[in-house]
Structures are given as structure tokens and as C-alpha cells.
Amino acid sequence: MILAVILLILRQHGWTAFLGGIFPSQVNSNHQPEAITPQLGPRHQLSYQQWLDILKQEANVAAQNHPQHLTILLGDSISLWFPTELLPEDRNWLNQGISGETSAGLLKRLELIDRTTPETILVMIGINDLTQGVSDEIILGNEQQIILYLQRMHPKTQIVVQSILPHGGKQVTWEGREKLLAIPNSRIRQLNQQLQRIAAKEGVKYLNLHPLFANQQGELRPELSSDGLHLNPQGYLVWSSALQLYSQIELEAQPEKKRINHAKARENKN
């Protein structure tokens, strides 16, 4: 329902008109995709183990300082490349994304954030599993184990599972183009539907970003991507806007809902 409202606004007013009202100085008004690759500097050349060491250090700092309204991003390069300046400003962010990450890899490294006290954890994982030929059953099994682990280690945290984004189909220019083209976007949609059911079963939030990024053919909108897989600045603006609205409408409303439910329970007892 929440993202349906966002999507309606985007369609009625156009991508640039909507996003320009939020980030007026950063939207490309001609609607052309920005053919750029996110610049990570030397960090982009790190090995997986080097990434783990850095993320462990960053998680340790967060565990020691206990920043307020801490939100953790868990995922692959799509999360990793989220521009810091575009993340919602009302939170402290810990980005634990690793380029090329899979659901199995993420599951194995969740212990890195055990000592942190996040208010919210956002998970997006799965596209690299698909390009590596991992079955839907294994992906969903890993996703469920990720949810269960996070619930056990962070019982007071809002856990939000985010949908896997579509790819750009024949518009893909990413170096692994053939691997992506072998994955029908219809499979990604079906996988997301199953993921939503798992989230509901385990009692965690599900954020369906897919409709915001898919065109009428079910492919990643070219104006939101740099290569048909990764997002460009406009793509991150859409994601950031969705997170901001979702946070305000859904996550921040939870304490009030709990207060009302507790009040109703007391009335029933009386």
C-alpha cells in the first residue's frame, strides 16, 4: 500500500518532478540515464577478506558508540554503492554491503554486527545468487535463516527485507550481461513473492521496491541504472525517497500502534 502511493505519485508527476522536489539540485532533468559507474576508490579493489576486516572494524565502532537511530544496510554492491549523501538524514547509517555478495555469504558474516544496537536493519540480497546459478529454494532458505538469525540476535530491531530488483534485459551493459540475460525477470518477480510470504510468516517487514524500478516490460528502468544491474544517482534517489516515506509511515508508526494496542488490552481487562 505504501509503495503503491509512491508509485502513483511518480506516475502522475513524473520521475524528475517528484524527485526534484526532494533533491532539486541532483536530478537530471532530461531523463537520460547517467552512464557512470559508482566510484569507490581503492576500496573497490579489496579482496573479500579485506572487506570483512573493514566491515568488522566499522561494526565495532558502532557497537562501542551506540549511535542513535542506527540503521544497518546488509547486502551486495547495490547496497554498498548507496551514496552516503542520499541516505535519509534522520538516521545514523552503517553500510555492510560487499560487492558480489550472495545470500550464503551474508548469512555467514551476520555475526559482525552482533554487538551493535540497530533500530532498523535493511536486507537486500539475491541477485548474485541468481547469476551464479543458485536455486530459488536455496536462496529462500538462506533468506529465512538470515531473518531468524537477526531476530534472535536483535530482538528489539525492526527487520526489513527488501525485494530483489529487476535487471535491464537487453539494455544491460554490465560485464556479466549473459548471466543476467539467462535470468528471466519473471523469475525475480516470483522469487520476490515467495520472499514476501517468508517475511510475513516470520513476522518481519517486507519492502517491495520492485514496482518502483520496473518498467512495463518488467525490466529495470534504464533512466535509473548505470548498466542494467546497478543503480545510478537517480535510481538511488528513488530508493532513498521510498526509504524515507516508508520510515515515516510504517516504522515510526509502530511504537504508536503498540501503545494503542496496549491501551486496548488494558480496557478489555477492565
* Tens digit of each residue's pLDDT (9 = 90 or more) over 144-157: 999 999 999 999 99
pLDDT tens for 83-102 read 999 998 889 999 999 999 99
Is the model more confident about 192 or about 30?
192
- Looking at residue 44, the DSSP 8-state letter turns out to be G
The mean-pLDDT minimum among 45-49, 50-54, 212-216 falls in 45-49
Give the count of beta carbons closer than 10 Å to the beta carbon of residue 113: 26
**Where do the H-state alpha helices sit in 154-184?**
177-181
pLDDT at 248: 80
pLDDT tens digit sequence for 238-257: 999 999 988 888 766 555 55
Residue-level pLDDT at 9: 46
Q: Residue 86: which of 218, 206, 234 has the closest Cα?
A: 234
Place of cell 579493489: 45
Task: Give the mean pLDDT of 64-75.
Answer: 96
Q: Which domains can be identified in the chain, with CATH numbers?
A: 2-11+46-262 (3.40.50.1110)
Contact yes or no for 159/147 (Cβ under 8 A): yes
Cα–Cα dist 193/144, whole Å: 14
pLDDT at 32 over 80: no
Q: Give the mean pLDDT of 98-111.
A: 97
Query: What gap in Å lies between CA 16 and CA 10, rounded to an integer?
Result: 9
Q: What is the pTM of this model?
A: 0.81
pLDDT score at 247: 83
Task: Look up residue 135 and give its amino acid.
Answer: S
* Segment (H or E) for 59: helix 48-65
Rounded to the nearest integer, the mean pLDDT of the chain is: 84
Predicted pLDDT at 18:
41
Dump pLDDT digits (tens) for 184-242.
Answer: 999 999 999 999 999 999 999 999 999 999 999 999 999 999 999 999 999 999 999 99
